[in-house]
Amino acid sequence: MNSRKVVGFCNLHTSPKIGGLNEKRALGAVTFLGRFAIMDFTLSNFSNSGIDGVCILVHHFPHSVLGHVESGDVWTANTKTGFEYTFFNEFGVNDPESNTDINNILANLGSLKKVKDRAEYVVIAPVHYLTSMDFRPIIDQHIEKNSKVTCVYVPIHDGKTNFTKSTLVNLNDDGSVKSFKLNNKAKDEINVSLETFVITGDVFADLVLRAQTIDKTFSIADMISYMIKNENLKVDTYRFEHYVIPIMSLDEYVNNSFSLLKFENRRKLFRHDWPIYTRTHDTPPAYYGPHSSVKDSIISNGCKIYGKVEHSILSRNVVVNKGANLSNCIVFTDSIIGPGVKIKHVVTDKNVLIEKDMEGKEEKPLFLKTGSKV
């Protein structure tokens, strides 16, 4: 892959807001399944595909991304020749409308020389679609067809109830993109854009530079749509038929997290030959007290369990005190559940202390912000 000079862009600009979880952090930095950050999947897909030149396009809250990726060595297969840059457009803070992925790239032109030298092909991927995606066959097809742009999509059969906030791909007879549109929940059989593109290097450079002369608020996806409609750009497609988890709302975050408590679903997302890398933490194994009970749950390192946990997901260093009872909960790092407390259908952010009984609803769990004490 390195001989092809491929650069990956991990695009956080397209990330949706999901309840309170990314009000003060980038969606990519949000904890998932107690151990990972959401962006780990995209970064690991780049690494496993042999793409060791990566740029992370941060929309807002860069501290949360930098705090997670640090040097980036976890996801860089070859630390001698590879790189991982984090791009942030400081000017966009005061002008949210123009805080786009394209303007982020333009604001960091001084850091792009190394990228430009390697960018015969560019892969752009978001973080809010969790999957194990090998980019190599997609790039192979892109090269074989001499494509300018390739869009990756997944066909689904329950579009009225699933991927309801996603963008759909309308196809021409030859399989190229006719247009994009939002899912209006009218059909079950739909093709969902994964907002993942392979773009030939010179086409990408032209697209980014010309966007300023057309509309300064255009994103990369906007520019591709514009060029399809107004310049007859042919955008080829790649049909991806593997397991994909959308994270576009708090409901999807919660429901899809719980769906992975089932082994058969975890095996679809976590392939044995496709590791998902994350930061390591020097935490001890979880401790289970003599009267603890844990069923159908994911318990992370550093947790101390003295009570009962059922159908729940606990991040690192969570303490469940004696007599406490958790069910259908997602609890983030360093939170404490007091003695004898019963909570059900609750989602907590980090450093939360719960000392009284709480119960949300299955369709609408209670959410507690970072540092809450109740």
Helix (H) or strand (E) run with residue 344 in it: strand 342-344
The span from the CA of 127 to the CA of 194, in Å, is 10
Residue 265 has pLDDT above 70, yes or no: yes
Which residue, among 123, 74, 130, has the nearest Cα to 270 in the 3D structure?
130
The span from the CA of 53 to the CA of 115, in Å, is 7
Kindly report, residue by residue over 291-338, the tens digit of the pLDDT: 999 999 999 999 999 999 999 999 999 999 999 999 999 999 999 999
Residue 80 has pLDDT above 60, yes or no: no
Which of 261-295 are b and which e, b meaning 16 or more Cβ less than 10 Å from the residue's Cβ? eeeeeeebbbeeeeebebeeeeeeebebeeebebe
Residue 179 has pLDDT above 80, yes or no: yes
pLDDT of res. 77: 58
- Side-chain-facing half-sphere of 287: CA atoms under 13 Å: 13
pLDDT of res. 67: 84
Label residue 2 by pLDDT band (50, 70, 90): very low
pLDDT of res. 116: 62
Which residue, among 128, 64, 125, 158, has the nearest Cα to 256 in the 3D structure?
128
pLDDT of res. 168: 97
% of the chain beyond a pLDDT of 70: 93
| 231 vs 110: which has the higher pLDDT | 231
Residue 75 has pLDDT above 70, yes or no: no
Which residue, among 323, 264, 324, has the nearest Cα to 314 in the 3D structure?
324
Kindly report, residue by residue over 185-221, the tens digit of the pLDDT: 999 999 999 999 999 999 998 999 899 899 999 999 9
Determine the distance from the C-alpha atom of residue 53 to the mean position of all C-alpha atoms in its chain, rounded to a whole number: 18
pLDDT of res. 37: 94
pLDDT of res. 184: 93
| 110 vs 156: which has the higher pLDDT | 156
The tokens 């030298």 sit on which residue?
A: 117
Angle at 241 between CA 237 and CA 243, to 5 degrees: 130
Label residue 4 by pLDDT band (50, 70, 90): low
Residue 113 has pLDDT above 70, yes or no: no
The span from the CA of 147 to the CA of 65, in Å, is 33
Phi, psi of 218 (to 5 degrees): -70, 140
pLDDT of res. 86: 86
Helix (H) or strand (E) run with residue 54 in it: strand 53-58
23: phi > 0 → left, psi -120 to 50 → alpha, else beta; which? alpha
Label residue 268 by pLDDT band (50, 70, 90): very high
- State the pTM of this model: 0.92
101: phi > 0 → left, psi -120 to 50 → alpha, else beta; which? alpha
Residue 269 has pLDDT above 50, yes or no: yes
CB atoms within 10 A of CB 212: 13
Map residue 118 onto helix, strand or coil.
helix
List alpha helices for 156-219, DSSP H. 201-214
